[in-house]
Amino acid sequence: MPVETGMDDFVKEKNDLEAATGVLAFMIQNSQELLKPKGHLRSAFACGFHDPGLETSGERDGKLTELIFLTKMEDEGQILTWGLSFCYTAPEALLQSSFTYYLDSSRNYLPPPPLPVSPKLRLSNASKLGPQQHQQQHPQQHHTMSLGGLEKGVLVGKELVCGQVPAQENEFNKDKDNKEKIPSLPVPDLQHTLLKYLMSVKPLVSEQEFSHTVQCVSAFEREGGAELHKMLVERAKERKGTSWLREWWDDLVYMRARHNVTIMDSYFYNFGLTPPSPTFPNDIFGGRVFSPLIKRAATSIMASLDFKFQYNTGILPQEKAGKRAQCVQMYTRLFNGSRIPRKDVDYFYSYSGPLAATNHIFVICNDHFYFLDVTTPTTSSFSSIPLAQLAHQLELIYQDATSKPTGIPVGALSCQVREKWCEDRELLLSNNHNADLVEGIQSAAFGVCLDTVSPLNMDDYDARVWHNNGRGRWFDKPIQLIIFENGALGLHGEHSGMDGTVSKALVEHIRKIEDNKMQGMKIPIEDRAGKRWVPCSFDISPSVSKQIENALEGVKEEVLKVSHQALIFDTFGGSAIKKMKCSPDAFCQMAIQLAFYRIFQHLPAHYESASTRGFLHGRTETIRVSSLESKKFVEAVCSGPNSLTASKNEHLLRDALAKQSKTTRDCTNGLGVDRHLLGMKLLHLEKNPSAPLPSLYTDPSFSYSNTWRMSTSQLGGKYFQAGYGAVVDDGLGVSYSYTNNYIQFKTSARQTTPCSPTRFNAALIRSLQDMRTILSGPKAKL
């Protein structure tokens, strides 16, 4: 191939941008002058490789780990298309930037087709091995490889030096996806934060313990807190294009966590035990008859692709909470990416690039894996195959999978604690064929699981979507759609890359499209006949097989340690609560407080998640639900047999509801307690790694008030219900949502929790009824 000739001269250049531009020019010149460098092409290349808008203060050294020239040849050797892609890494960070363009013979720009590049040449592999070991294992300057739709690819650069690399992953460094201006996350006032912290601790501890906490807080404010706060303000100023918290949050809360993600970091949605009524008519499938499973799988996949298309092409409406625009940067982690295990700290790898290049999804059925090509590149993004063709391909996959014995549940390996999964993944990837398959799973737009059973009841439904005993899933994938034999739909989400409000936007889009009989989609449809799927059979050695067996045993043990129960409370719902002039969210939170107090005779450290996506790259803040006001209310209600009719209790309840609503507003406005205290703690550790922590952080009350025995979140609504696990061994996890006519809860607990979900839900029903009685009595002021 003529382009390889003389490439060394350019690779040895030290000036990164000049060298890369020289490589590009050399390629073009030796590709029979297919294309002369045009301004917009060079700009695109420069933007991807070295965007001035992404520069950070201070010098950062990085290494270009991939520079690949790709071509497609005719039989006589004429080059039809060519492209260039590259990725680079920097110390202590996983960074990526990619530019890939293809041109047909008419010089029309096309997005890249799927490229199953050998994992030996992947950025993920370079980062995993480290620069020195990677260089030792892959010292060659050029590699020729098979790339599926592209016959030839040449790795033309290895370990090129480049400077001024962005501090974060490229996908998070621009605000291009937000159509409205999104402000940066603020740093709250220090005195306000410390006062709020004290008031949140007071209802949880004794007077003596609280007195000690006051001393610790006062010492912190006098002896270093003000300086740490000032440093945090400066950090926020330096990160105007992102959030002062995001790097820390992703790393500390998720990527450094070593527990299994299946129970601890995953959440699930269910959409009801049966498909929408009426069921999908055959006419939207071109008159063809398919099973409920195949119909629901096809419609949910098509609607997901439409959401992806609208996001990629910039036509998806700006997401809002009320009138407030929400940052959509986490959408970049919905598709074409994966969490990847690594020793000590995981990372999230996104394959999306400018146009979300990969065109396939992975499908699991009967523990057999398949890749299904669902889209076709177009000049702007991609098109989808027609719904009937998609259903037919899924039907063929289902028939193939169910005609065989049950497959080997390779995905069970991803159920393990992260260090063990990392170790077993290395063993699995030591086989190059397996490595290619794992790369395809990671790069797929999303996963689809076709389950050959129907849920027995709501709790069985939830368990199958949540963990399924480790079978038929790949738990590192951000999104997996799960479809059952009767057409019921579920979604499994891995939490590290995005919060539930992001996947909520996707599933609401799915359900709206389904309700409209697949009308209203924007994605182009292109008829393409022929088989579009391939089976993916892993080459499982005896040692890998043993690890899979161990993983299945491990997840069974973990599942036995947790219990969960769904509750649909239909005595009244959001409409009745609003008529009582109450916030439905605050009402549910006070019911949870009252239920807990009745069982345990004290209030817990009680967490509710508040979304901070009203700020650039915002994630969540902690709503500290337990308050002096809620404590007075629950104590009064539990004080005697006439407590429900006591007129003062209405005032106490309304005070508690008002306090909860005020705390919620503060948190969504970036004025919470926990993230501010965390930021100052981390700055102290960075500045003085060997110095003892301020007494505020070593005070037993600090640890106690951060051990969330009650973890709650309002997520769900008309279309779906959400659930997740308790976050501490003796705690409860309660997810809830409401409609006009009912409230739905999903309660989870661990084996070591001194209260079962069944017992808690019974107390919850009583609390909801009692609170309505208190607010609807003869003296209630409505």
Task: Give CA–CA dist 360/506, Å, rounded.
Answer: 18
Task: Tell me the CA end-to-end span of the chain in Å, nearest whole number.
Answer: 82
Q: Are 212 and 701 in contact (CB under 8 A)?
A: yes
Q: How many CB atoms lie within 10 A of CB 697?
A: 18
Q: Give residue for tokens 């892609």.
A: 85
Task: Give CA–CA dist 449/490, Å, rounded.
Answer: 9
Calculate the alpha carbon distances from 370 to 226, 331, 400, 533, 563 in Å: 57, 25, 10, 7, 32
Calculate the alpha carbon distances from 406 to 367, 369, 409, 631 in Å: 6, 11, 9, 54
Helices (H), 202-260: 207-220, 226-238, 246-249
Task: Give CA–CA dist 428/432, Å, rounded.
Answer: 9
Q: Give residue for tokens 């527990």.
A: 259
**Catalytic entry in 495, 509, 564, 606:** 495
Token output for 615:
């700020």
Task: Give CA–CA dist 442/433, Å, rounded.
Answer: 15
Calculate the alpha carbon distances from 272 to 69, 455, 517 in Å: 48, 10, 18
Please count the CA atoms within 13 angstroms of the CA of 777 that sit on its side-chain side: 17
- Helix, coil or strand: residue 719: coil
Token output for 497:
């890359």
Nearest in space to 415 (alpha carbons), one of 528, 297, 537, 261: 261
- Helix, coil or strand: residue 87: strand
Helix (H) or strand (E) holding 623: strand 620-624
Contacts for 720 with CB less than 8 Å, ≥ 6 apart? 269, 270, 271, 272, 491, 507, 511
Token output for 129:
């091995």
Please count the CA atoms within 13 angstroms of the CA of 660 that sit on its side-chain side: 28
Q: Are 88 and 122 in contact (CB under 8 A)?
A: no
Nearest in space to 443 (alpha carbons), one of 574, 348, 336, 515: 336
Helix (H) or strand (E) holding 594: helix 584-600
**Active-site annotation holds for 495:** yes
Calculate the alpha carbon distances from 303 to 246, 397, 464, 500, 526 in Å: 30, 20, 23, 18, 15
List the catalytic residues. Answer: 495
